[in-house]
Structure 1
Amino acid sequence: MVSLQEQFLKAGLVDKNKVKQAKQEKSRQQKIERRTGTASVDEARLAALETQRKNAERAREHNAQRDAAATQKAITAQITEMVQKNRQSKGAGDIAYHFTHDGKVERIHVSAAVQGHLVAGRLVIVCHGGSTDLVPKTIADKIAERDASLVVRVAKPSSEVDADDPYAAFKIPDDLMW
């Protein structure tokens, strides 16, 4: 095995005087280290270690972002599958049913039976992928665990009425049409 110094000499990158001077400097440094008992700081080695640490940190961040994106994609696929498998019919569509989603009042046309199920809380509206679908409450709860912004809660159970609500004593009739 040929040393690095010999390789540089053969390539003509250094001359014999430079090699001799480098050997003397190295032996001088080792002698000082033996006398004082302290190790010298190798700046190049420290810089290489710092670069290696930064690269590892960057790789960890990149992997975390990639894992988060993959997890989000899997959650979206699960929600889509749950909605498609458990989609309920809206009925004949003779009654306009209004609800709010993302600060906007939306409307779907449902049958009287479906309206009764929505008011009772047995069916829940899910807005996913630009469409509005009806799913059973149990499925909507599973979807809400993954992404609560997709689920539209129509009926608010009476146990969740706010104590500070000035209109709490006035019950809204179930058959109220907007």
Structure 2
Amino acid sequence: MASLQDQLLKAGLADEKKAKAIRQEKRKKRKQQPKGAVEVNEAQLRAQKAREEKAERDRQLNLARQQEAEKKAIQAQIRQLVETNRLDRSRGEESYQFVHDKKIKKIPVASDMVDPLSRGRLAIVFVNGHYEVVAEAVARKIMERDEQAVVVLHDKAQQSEADEDDPYAGYEIPDDLMW
């Protein structure tokens, strides 16, 4: 099969002078390049750049997927901690009020849970749309994983400092007083 240049010459679309000049130009380019050097093609450069960009996008996507998987694993750990360590509040005679998402919430708790909740020995956590009561140690473990899951955990250190400066510390509050 004849080359494109020969076909153009036969059709009369190109003349012999231009074809000869182009051949000489190509020959000069080949001689100027050192041996073993590959002619850099613009299309190859664009293809290489596109491959690099795609690899970077894939890395970013994989990183996002990994972070999402880690978040799911942490949520599963929190759910498991709560399921195994939640305290039974089915016999809740009293209601305990607290603030969650700028709203006052109320949950039923046993009467012997009110004082430990207010003193920081017990905590309230929010998991799967439900409030559960757990021990302080479990709440601290949950806070290591996700601080937003623990809704109520009163700090013992703050209470002891407040007790020292309290002018009414000598006056005992009656047990039957409810707010």
TM normalised by structure 1 equals: 0.73
TM-aligned CA deviation for residue 91 of structure 1: 5.2
**1:104-138, CA deviations, whole angstroms, 9 ceiling, x for partnerless residues?**
11111112211122122221100111101011111
Distance 1:72 1:174 in 2: 46
Decide whether the 8 Å contact of 2:119 with 2:155 is kept in 1.
Answer: no
Distance 1:45 1:89 in 2: 68
Alignment map for 1:6-155 (pairs within 5 Å) = 15-18=2-5, 27-34=27-34, 41-90=40-89, 92-155=91-154
TM-aligned CA deviation for residue 67 of structure 1: 0.4
Report what 1:3 is aligned to: none
Write the letter of the residue equivalent to 2:107. Answer: I
TM normalised by structure 2 equals: 0.72
Decide whether the 8 Å contact of 1:124 with 1:137 is kept in 2.
Answer: yes
Write the letter of the residue equivalent to 1:109. Answer: P
Q: Which ranges in structure 1 are unaligned for 5 or more consecutive residues?
A: 1-8, 10-14, 163-167
Write the letter of the residue equivalent to 1:49. Answer: Q
SS of the residue aligned with 2:68?
helix
RMSD: 3.4
Distance 1:161 1:104 in 2: 27
Larger Rg: 2
TM-aligned CA deviation for residue 157 of structure 1: 2.6
Gap change, CA 1:40 and 1:50, over 3 Å in 2: same
- How many residue pairs get aligned? The number is 158
TM-aligned CA deviation for residue 33 of structure 1: 2.6
Distance 1:88 1:158 in 2: 24
Q: Which ranges in structure 2 are unaligned for 5 or more consecutive residues?
A: 7-18
Distance 1:114 1:123 in 2: 8
SS of the residue aligned with 1:113?
helix
**1:31-85, CA deviations, whole angstroms, 9 ceiling, x for partnerless residues?**
2334xxx986421121111111101101101100110111111111111111000
